[in-house]
Structure formats: structure tokens, C-alpha cells
Structure 1
Amino acid sequence: MTACAIENGTAAATGAAGDDLPDGPDCPAAPLGAPPVAPAFTIAADGSYAARLALADVAAEASDGGGGAWFVERWTLDGPEPYAVPLPLDQPEEPDSEVLPLADGRVLIRRRVAELHAVSLLYPTGPGTGELPLGTVACPDLTLLPPSPDGVSAYALSAGAHSTSVWQVAGGAFGPEPVAEVPGHCSGGVWLDRAGRMLALDREMPGGGPVKAVAVDLERGGEVTPLLQIAPDSNDRLLLADPGSGLLLLRSDAPGHDRLGWGVLGSCLPVRFPECLRPADAAVTPFAVQPGQVLTPESCAVALRIDGAAGSWVGVWRPAGRRLHQFAAPEGWQAGRGVWARDGVLRLPYADGNVACGVALLEAPVDDGPRVPESAGPGAGPGAEAGAEAGVGSGMQPSGAAVPLPVCKPVPLGQAPLTGRMTPG
């Protein structure tokens, strides 16, 4: 169990950050080591705990044809040294169960039981595991949403033929209860504030049509308001949001094909689609935003998972820098998972053959040198910088020619809920 820095694709006991990797499709990625043994790994909203399903070491049973046994494992991430606590019960867990850590150290688990979904809280009790059943939800499918920012509540989505129910499955007074009914088929789930009141969902209306991110006010009976309307027929999905700065990371096909973009909640400026976020022959997915940059959303460091033929590795990017830095991932990285500290250090959880519970530390690089141009979304104003050129040797040249954008007027982010930026809590 250790905390370490990333160096040359391995976990090394040093304080130095890893070197940038070459750009482009031939960018080498550190081997992931053993494939992730858990179908789920979730980090609490405050970064204090994580939880996953782990596979027990049952070599004797496996030799007899019994196979492995899944159990819940809780990781403590905010102490001087990370460590894992197993939370097994008398019966093994099913691999399709979902887990979610709360800020008090308990772990919520959703299990499918026949036609029901049972929700319980697990916690360590001396040598054993305590379980507090919370109740059941009767529906075909129930999916846990990301951890609520308040640290004590948990929510889930249940999509029906014509509407989607938002359930509060923990933190309520009477067990699982529906708190909102949203017309249309909803997926995703991003929290827009620190209180756990405003939830962004990606919605497709009955009968088809584009997917649009909407904001749902859970304290006003699930009141729905538009959040992203980049172009009339574009699919606009919200991926990440930082409540402090208002920085939004989204995916949209408004530029003509699916692209990663960014904007600021409450801003009237158009969404931007950086060229550096579409490297050739690789898929890029953001998974963490640096907190604490309240008045300067453009300076927030964003962590990205990059998937290519060679495996998965880590990217770091800032809107102001407009350069994608690429790093090898530690062996056994829980790919696509990590949390930023306010001082700009990215914490990446991993487990390999030698380390059962580790956190690799990656310091956000400083942006310097020539910048790569960005494409502005539809309706870009005179201040758009889409015509700037990337300097020769910048290391991240545009990966393709600019795509002509449709001419239409977007609904600015300033018309979305939460128009004022949040102040530090």
C-alpha cells in the first residue's frame, strides 16, 4: 500500500511527475498489468473513499471448479497512506452489483434480487461486516448516479418507456423514494452544485430526436430546464462539471461529428471544441476536473482517459493552455478514475501484483510554448480564436481539417440554471 509518483509508466517512490509521451497514434501507453478485476470502481465526491467489487483469492475453490467470489472492498484515499478494507458477507456478491462510497466510510450497494433492486449500506464492524438494508425498488433497471456532493445521499435512475424516474436510495427518511419524474429517456448524470440539488441528465424525448442535456431541480419536484442547446439537431451530452468554477466538459456532434468541447456555466460565450482533444486513432474521455479555480475556469486542469490500440493512458489539459499532455498510466490503474487535489496533483488509484491498494501522484504540467487552435461552436462571435495557427513543433498539431459548422444560433449557457458562479463552501 503506497502513494507514489508516475515515472516511465511504472509506480516509483519519487516526487517527480512523469514525462510527456510522444503525441499521435503511436503514443506508447504503459501496460495496464492485470486487467481490472472489478466491474466497478467509484470515488466519493470529496475523494476521501473509493469502493469496488474485488475478486477473492480462492485458488482452492477454483481448482475444484468453484471459481472466484466477488466482495465489496473500500479504499481509504485521504490518509497518509492508502489502504483497503474488505467488506465480505456470508454470500458472495454478483458482478453486476453496483457500489458507491459515502463520505462517512459506509458503502452503498445495489443488488438485483429477482425483479427487484435491493439497496443496503455496508460498513466494517470489528472483524466482520455490518449491513443496513435500506429497501427495494421495483423496476426493470436501476442505475446508480455518481456520488452526491453532499456525501450522505445517493441517487439512481430508472428509465421507462416514456419517462425516467430519479430515486433517492440513501439519505432519505423512509428508504428509497422517487424524487423526480423526467419526461423522456435519460442517461448520464452530472452534479451542478455542491448541495446535491441540481442534476444534469442527457435526455432523449419519446419518439426520437437529438439527445440534449437538461438540468433537473430535485428540490422543486424535478423541474426541468434546458442546459445545452448547441445546435437544433445536435446531440449534446454533458460529461463533467465543476460547481466552483462552472467549467463544463461536454460531447457534441454540432461540429459535424462527435467532438469534446468545453464551456462555462453562466457564460454567453460559445462552446469551444479544441483540436488537441481529438488525437488520431484514440478515444478521449474526461474524468476529473481540478477544484478551487473559482474565478478562473480556463485554468482548471482536466484529467482525461485516452484509449488506443496500445492500451489506456492519462491526459492532462487546460482550456487556457490548449495543449494535451500525455502520460503513461501506473500498472493496474483503475482506468478512468482519479481525483484532483486543489494544489494541482492528480491522484490515480491502482492495484497490481505487488500493490493491493495504491495511489499514484501526477503533478499537473505547466503549459508553455505554441498553442493549438480551437474550433468555436455554432454562433461563434467576433472573439473566436478558430483562425489561430499551431506553431511548428508544438507537439500537438490538429489531427484533421476543420469541419464547416452549421449556421445557427445556439442557446447560450447563460440561459441555463445556476447562472451565477458558486463561491467556495
Structure 2
Amino acid sequence: MTACAIETAAGDGTPVWPTRAGRGAFTITANGAYAARLAGSGEALYVERWTLDGPEPYAVPLPLAQPEEPGTLLLPLADGRVLVGRRVDGRRHTFSLLYPTGPETGELVLGAVEAPGSEELVLLPPSPDGICAYAMCVGPDTTTLWLVAGGAFGPEQVAEVKGRCSGGVWLDRTGRMLALDRRLDDGPVKAVAVDLERGGEVTPLLQITEESHDRLLLADPDSGLLLIRSDAPSPGHDRLGWGVLGSLLPVRFPECLRLDDAAVTPFAVQPGQVLMPEGCGVALRIDAAAGSWVGMWRPSSRRMHQLAAPEGWLAGAGLWTPEGVLRLPYATAGTPCGLAHLEEPAELPEPVAALARPKVCRPVPLQQAPLTDRRPAR
């Protein structure tokens, strides 16, 4: 599974996807082939596309006559084009596709989405199909989902979900099932599944206790592994836990993922571990006063390995290979486009049955999720 750089958490503890390009945001396609970020300095910002699936990574600048704003939305597609979203007149968001055409940059205008002043528009993480791109317009009481690339006639509304939503995690390999963290009125945040092929039909996905805030951070369709943040073990204090989609077992909150003076956020899961969630490698971004570094952990282990990140790491960005190698993008003055490889230190995994169960109320089983078929993609 690939993932993108995660910005600092919102005030309620929700991770913020890097859909506002900013300086540190780096987004990778679901298949790991391409990535995109804003490059440049000062006000001379431009889109830069990275190619990651060749013998060596390389970057292609995609500048236009007008520099990009710091808040430009970016999303790479699997065909090498980059979706760009720009805010106009305070409420309109225009979308285009950028692509290299020899020494120049081509631009295909797709259309615009209206977002009233009280609503916030963000891009969802790259779709697993690599073709479509979705935006989420978040209002006080309703969240609207838009297909902004991959449709036949420009941006089109595909779903309207009651409540204020955040997050965004794909649950399958086709780009049909989307998990969102939803708050209804003043109630707790609960992860729900949204079926984009059934008009945005909503199904409960995760509820550990009735009062707890339960968010889904990452999901791996091959193994069914879910990475969860919840305050169920200690109300008012979020903990990082894991569960399995469709399982009757409770969510577990390993003590090794809890650091006193640092924030721990998962950003990538090892793919290809079909029906073996305990064996999936999980990459974690660790942020503290001293800086950011990398954690590597598997549910079958009670230990999290903490490793130094490469110099210039685009913090929170990376992808696993199915063989278990973690690849981290970095940029320095000497190497403006680099990809470091980290291997997990050798360790005999402990049986997952030995992991202690948290002393909290038994959660509602995750089999409420609409996805129960986790056969490997063909």
C-alpha cells in the first residue's frame, strides 16, 4: 500500500491529508508509480512529478506561465498526469490535468466545483483504480463527494453524506468503497463506509464503544488490516490500534505504539500479505520536539523499531514493496529526487495470540463493514 505525507493533526486529533500542497506535502499514487509535490522557492512555485517505478527515481517539473499558489491541491494519477485544483474568487475550485509535452507543460481544463464560503473542499487520497480523483466538500451538516477527474463530462457530484466528514481511506482495489470519519451533530466521530456505486449508501464501519471517537487511518485490502485511532481505552486520549475487517476479534491497542513525548501516525502498509494481517509491515511517522523519524512494526510483534529517516525525507511519505522493503522519498541540495530503502531489523515475531487485550469494553465487531470478500486482486 502506498500513502502520502500526513500534515499535522487537526485540533480534534484527526490526521490531515496533504491535499493542500504546501511545502512538505508529497502524494504517491496507489500503485506507487508516480508522486507529485509543489517545488520551487518563495513565490515561484510549480508542480513537480516524480517517477518512482523505474530503475532510479526522477523528477519532471511541470511549470506554467503563472506560478502556483501555496494552497494548490495536487493529486498524481496512474497515467503520469497530475490533477491540480486551484481556488478562485474564494468559493470556486477549478481543476486541471498537467502533463509534460516535450519541453512544455500541457494543461487540460476539467471544470469547477462551487464551495460556499462556510464549506471546505479537500481532495481525497488517490483512488486505487489510478484513473479517478475525488474531492470532498465539507459543510456544517452535510458532506458532498465529487468526482473531479475520470468522469465523462467534467466534475460531477457522486454522493451526499449526512454529517461532517474527515479522513478518507479506500477499502477495496476498485475505488468503490470509501471509509470516512463522520460526526453527526455533536456526537462522537465514527468511521463509516460509503458505497460510491450505490449513490453514497452509508454503512457503519467501526464502533468500539458508544461514546468513543473511532477513526480509520489506513486499510489494506489484501490482508484486511485496519489501523485505527480511538480514545476508547482512555477517554479523552487517543491511542493507535489495529483490527481486521470482518473479524469478530476486538480492536487491539499495543503498548509499543504509545510514546509519551511523540506523536505516532501510520503512513504505509505492506501489500500482498493476503489474509495475513498479523504479518503486514506498518510504517509509522514519529514526530517529537527533536524532529521526525520512522517506526517499523508488525501486529505479530510487541516491539516497534525506531529508525533514523534519510536526510531530506519528505516526512510521512513512503511505500512498501511486497517483499518488505520500505522506500522513503527524500530531496536534498545534492540529490533533489531520491528514494531511500529501509529494511526491518531481524526479529522473531511473537504469536499474535500472546498480545494482551486492552481492558476496555468489547467493541462492536468489524463484520458490520460491507466488505467481507478479501480475495486477492487479479
CA distance in 2, matches of 1:46, 1:321: 27
**Out of 73, 98, 107, which is 2:48 matched to?**
73
Specify the alignment match of 2:133 in structure 1: 154
Specify the alignment match of 1:124 in structure 2: 100
CA distance in 1, matches of 2:323, 2:25: 28
**Out of 172, 178, 194, which is 2:151 matched to?**
172
Give the alignment of 1:301-320 within 5 angstroms.
301-320=281-300
Give the alignment of 1:201-212 within 5 angstroms.
201-206=180-185, 208-212=186-190
| Secondary structure of 2:197's aligned partner | coil
- Write the deviation string for residues 130-175 of structure 1: whole angstroms up to 9, x where unpaired: 0001000000421000000000000010011211001000001111
Percent sequence identity over matched residues? 70
CA separation of 1:315/1:385 partners in 2, compared to 1, >3 Å: closer, same or farther? closer
Is the Cα contact below 8 Å between 2:195 and 2:202 reproduced in 1? yes
Specify the alignment match of 2:61 in structure 1: 86
| Secondary structure of 1:219's aligned partner | helix
Q: Unaligned 5+ residue runs, structure 1?
A: 1-35, 57-66, 375-382, 388-401
Specify the alignment match of 2:35 in structure 1: 50
CA separation of 1:45/1:369 partners in 2, compared to 1, >3 Å: closer, same or farther? closer
Task: Kindly provide the amino acid, as one letter, of the partner of residue 417 in structure 1.
Answer: P
| Secondary structure of 1:174's aligned partner | coil
Is the Cα contact below 8 Å between 1:323 and 1:367 reproduced in 2? no
| Secondary structure of 1:414's aligned partner | helix
Task: Kindly provide the amino acid, as one letter, of the partner of residue 176 in structure 2.
Answer: R
Is the Cα contact below 8 Å between 2:245 and 2:372 reproduced in 1? yes
Specify the alignment match of 1:358 in structure 2: 338
Specify the alignment match of 1:139 in structure 2: 115
Structure number with larger C-alpha Rg: 1
Quote the offset at 1:46 in angstroms: 0.4
Give the alignment of 1:103-114 within 5 angstroms.
103-114=78-89
| Secondary structure of 1:346's aligned partner | strand
Q: Does 1:323 align with 2:303?
A: yes
Is the Cα contact below 8 Å between 1:39 and 1:95 reproduced in 2? no
Specify the alignment match of 1:31 in structure 2: none
Task: Kindly provide the amino acid, as one letter, of the partner of residue 222 in structure 2.
Answer: G
| Secondary structure of 1:273's aligned partner | coil
Quote the offset at 1:369 in angstroms: 7.6
Moved more, 411-420 or 85-94: 411-420
Number of equivalent positions: 352
Is the Cα contact below 8 Å between 1:239 and 1:251 reproduced in 2? yes
Give the alignment of 1:22-421 within 5 angstroms.
38-56=23-41, 67-114=42-89, 115-140=91-116, 141-206=120-185, 208-256=186-234, 257-368=237-348, 385-386=355-356, 405=360, 407=361, 409-421=362-374
Task: Kindly provide the amino acid, as one letter, of the partner of residue 145 in structure 2.
Answer: V
CA distance in 2, matches of 1:332, 1:294: 33
Task: Kindly provide the amino acid, as one letter, of the partner of residue 38 in structure 1.
Answer: R
Quote the offset at 1:385 in angstroms: 4.0
Q: Unaligned 5+ residue runs, structure 2?
A: 1-20
Q: Identify which of structures 1 and 2 has the higher relative contact order when contacts are C-alpha pairs closer than 8 Å and 6+ apart.
A: 1
CA separation of 1:39/1:335 partners in 2, compared to 1, >3 Å: closer, same or farther? closer
Q: Over aligned residues, Cα RMSD in angstroms?
A: 1.7
CA distance in 1, matches of 2:54, 2:226: 29
CA separation of 1:91/1:410 partners in 2, compared to 1, >3 Å: closer, same or farther? same
CA distance in 2, matches of 1:148, 1:370: 34
Under a length normalisation based on structure 1, what TM-score does the superposition of the two structures give?
Answer: 0.80
Task: Kindly provide the amino acid, as one letter, of the partner of residue 183 in structure 1.
Answer: K
